[in-house]
Structures are given as structure tokens and as C-alpha cells.
Amino acid sequence: MQNIKQEEIIKLFQKYWWDGSININISSSKTLEYSPLHDELSFDSSESVSTTVTFISNHKKSVFSLDGYSLEKIEYALKDIVKTIHFWQYDTDIILPKMSDCVEKDFSNPELENLTFDDLKKEYEVFRDFAFEDSISREWFSIWVQSGTHIFINSLWAYKVQKDNVAFYYVDILWENGEKKENHYEYTSTKNIPHITIKMLAKLQQELLFKISDSQVKLQPGKYDIALDRDVVIDFLDIILWNLGAESMREWVSLFSKYDIWDAIFWDNFTLINNPELQNYTGTMLFDKEWITAKKTVLFEKWVLKSKFYDYKNALKEWLQYLGNSTVSNIELIAEPSKNYLEGCHILFTNLMAFHTVDESTWKFSLNGEWYILENGKKTDYIKNISLSWNILELFSSIKAFWDDVKADGNFKVPSMSFKNQTLI
């Protein structure tokens, strides 16, 4: 690939009197996959480069993508494509964000950079050689390492670079007896070298055997105190965060549009922060989606709405200085954990499906999932296909307690929670 030089791109900006920016994404990966069904082991190594070009002209903006990167391709876009592409609607607040700072940040772990296919193969061999019980079969195994470099240059001489890498592994095992079958899997992202251990596989097998034990429970529909695994909590928070965009609130398509900034919306015992300062999370971004250096922003404090996600255009419309929070960087939930967060809870949900079916106008939902019966905070039974029905506003108004099981995967520092009086059908 042609070397990327800031000065050469700036000369193009100046030559064509162009306001705008260029994003260049360079990624590489090493992947190992194992299909036990065919006893097939495969390796893959890939590299890719993509470029996004943003034009701003007469308070209109257009964005398009290029495969790869070269000065010739960008100049072709400037000379020819810009004459014909469609610009978005005129808006006096559509202007180039006024930033000219230069920032470089490396979040990568050198140990991951040096992983070889032989290293990945050693992890697969632990999975292949583990002595699963006769009723359990290996379904799938994959492990991969991804590295990325993101470069931003605008016509005001801003130059920003972020490097990062992350490893993932996925393990799936299956119990099958006639028409009865059950899967259990482990999916993890990590900033460290991924290790498949005998202890982890034994725990995975134990959990699957617990799932397939004959259930004697017939749960009646009604109101129950329940707990949600942290990953399920994150799925609900994703919906909340999507509705915090200043654009969607201004256009009255967000459920938060009707709330004043000081309204108490949810339960008052925790704070939600957009926090780019969190370290060692696999989804960390130093910059927001417009490549303004992200700033720590309180979104909810004691569940009073404190801030929205402002892009540059909507910040100008509300006469605000740009906050550097046009999108999620890292979400941190601050609350006092309780060792007894499962006290009084009858059910623990570890998975809910079809979040896309949540009603966007009311936040009402009815989601099927897998769950565990609890007695004195311990799992005693496992059942699938029961529906949790409520709405998100009332769900988060009914929090009982928080756990301390946050993980440094993804970009959410969020624990599991328990809730009072939820409807099961």
C-alpha cells in the first residue's frame, strides 16, 4: 500500500478548495477455525484497507467510500465524483468541525501482534484433546486476532491515529440424544493472549450437563423478582443509548424527546458515563464518530438525564461548545455492588432474543430467552422459551441491586442487575 503522508493529502485539499476529511482504516487478521464434523482445520490471514471521504460544500455534506487507498483514487473523487454525487439537505449548521489538533494513540498489546498460527494451533489442540463425556460432542471452535489502524486527516491539518488489536475465541459443544439436543458455548474478546484451558472446558461441560438435566419445574405466569446477566443488561442499555442522540431527540423520534434535562427518568441509584478514559477495554475509542477527541461525559446521574450525544451540527443548533461525545466511546455504569444481589430473585436470565422487536415508540418488549430457576441465589433448574414482557422505562425503574461482575470486553463496564416484580408469561 502507498505510504500515507499528511502533507500530500493536505495539498489535495488546497488544490481543489475542498473542505472535508479522509478516514483510512487498515486492518489485518489471523484466524483458525476447526470443524469437528469434518475434522477440518483451516487457517486464514487477511489484510484490507478502506477509505471514507467526506465532502462539505455550501452547508451540504456527502460521504462515500473507496476500496483501498491511494492519492490517485482520492484525486479522482475530487475532480470527477464531487461534480455528480448527491449532497445532503442544506443546513446552515453543517460545517467542518473546527479542529486542527494532532493526536496519536496506541491501545495495542504487542504480545497479540506477535501471535503466530502455531500459537493459535496450540489453543485448538487443548479443545481437540479434552475428554468430553460420551454424550457431548465438539461442535465448533474458532480463534482469531485482529489489528487495526485508523487514520483521520482533515482540511484544517488535523491528524489523528488510533491503533488497537483484540483477540476472540468461540467454543461450542453439543449434547444430543435422539430428538433432544442442547448447545452451550463460550465467546470472549480479550486484550490479552487468549488461552483455552482445561478448567474452562470442564466448566463449559458442567454447565451443559446442568442444562440437559430433566426439569421438574412448571413456572406459572406472573410477577417475579428476576436477575439479568450483564450481557442482557447491555442489550437494553444499547437501546437507551441509541435514543440519546441529539438529532433523534430534536426530530422527536426518540422516546427521550418528551423529557426535560432535569427529569428523573429511571431508578435513582446509579450513574451512566461515556468514558473514553477506561483502559484495556476491547472496544476503546479515543475519538468520537467525527474524530473529535472524546471527552468524559455524564449521560445520567442518579438517572436524571444530564447530556445527549451531540454531533457538531446539533451542538451548534443548541449554542453549545462541541462536547466530543457524538457517539459511544466506553460506557461505564457506576453503582454500589451488593454481594446479595440475587437475594429474593426467582429467575436469572442469561440470554434474551430478538431485541429488534422492541417497540421503538413505547419501549415495550416481549422477549423469549433462556433462564435459570434460583433458590437462595443458587441455580437449581434450567428452562428455555419463557417470555419476559415489560417496557424498558419501567424495567430500569425497578432495580433491586447490582453485582460486581464487570468484564473488560467490548466497551461496556456494566454489571449484572436484579429487578423487582417483572412480568413473565
Residue 138 grid coordinates: 465438539
- Report yes or no: 127 and 171 within 8 Å, Cβ to Cβ: yes
Chain centroid offset of residue 192 CA = 18
Cell 421503538 sits at which residue?
A: 360
| One-letter amino acid of 101 | D
Three-class secondary structure assignment of 175-221: EEECCEEEEEEEEEEECCCCCCCHHHHHHHHHHHHHHHCCCCCCCCC
* Predicted local distance difference test score (pLDDT) of residue 363: 86
Neighbours of 397 (CB within 10 A): 16
Q: Which residues pair with 417 in a beta bridge?
A: 228, 402
Burial readout 121-145 (b: 16 or more C-beta within 10 A, e: otherwise) = eebbeebeebebeeebebbbbbbbb
Domains of the chain in sequence order? 6-212 (3.30.2290.10), 216-425 (no CATH)
Cα separation, 412 vs 299, in Å, equals 14
Query: Cα(339)–Cα(334) distance, rounded to whole angstroms?
Result: 16
pLDDT at 419: 92
Q: Tell the residue number behind the cell numbers 454424550, with chain if given.
A: 135
Distance CA 94, CA 417 (A): 41
Give the CB-side neighbour count of residue 285, counting CA atoms within 13 A: 22
238 Cβ contact partners less than 8 Å away, ≥ 6 residues apart: 355
**Is the alpha carbon torsion for 158, 313, 305, 327 positive or negative?**
negative
**Residue 299 cell numbers, joined:** 449521560
Please, where are the H alpha helices in 52-197? 71-76, 82-84, 110-113, 117-129
* β-strand partners of 364: 391
pLDDT score recorded for residue 1: 45
User: What is the model's pLDDT at position 260?
Assistant: 64
Tell me: the pLDDT tens digits for 19-54?
Answer: 889 999 999 999 999 999 888 999 999 999 999 988
User: Could you list the mean pLDDT of each consecutive 10-residue stretch along the chain, which spans 425 residues?
Assistant: 74 83 94 92 94 86 85 79 65 89 91 92 95 93 95 93 94 88 90 93 93 75 89 92 89 79 69 88 86 91 87 91 86 90 89 86 86 87 82 87 88 92 80
Query: In the numeric block, which cell numbers belong to residue 308?
Result: 445527549
How much is the pLDDT for 267?
A: 67
Quick one: cell of 382? 434450567
CA 384 from chain center: how many Å? 26
- How does DSSP classify residue 264? B
Q: Which of 316, 309, 311 is nearest to 290 (CA)?
A: 311
C-alpha cell at 4: 500515507
Task: Identify the H or E element spanning 234.
Answer: helix 230-242
Asked if 54 contacts 63 with a C-beta cutoff of 8 angstroms, the reply is yes
Nearest Cα neighbor of 151 from 103, 111, 85, 218 is 103
Q: Strand 347-352 relative to strand 364-375: parallel, antiparallel, unpaired?
A: antiparallel
Beta bridge partners of 372: 348, 382
Residues 6+ apart with CB under 8 A from 161: 103, 104, 105, 149, 150, 151, 152
pLDDT at res. 234: 94
Instruction: Provide the grid cell at 48.
Output: 484490507
**How far apart are the C-alpha atoms of 312 and 247, rounded to whole Å?**
11
Q: What is the pTM of this model?
A: 0.88
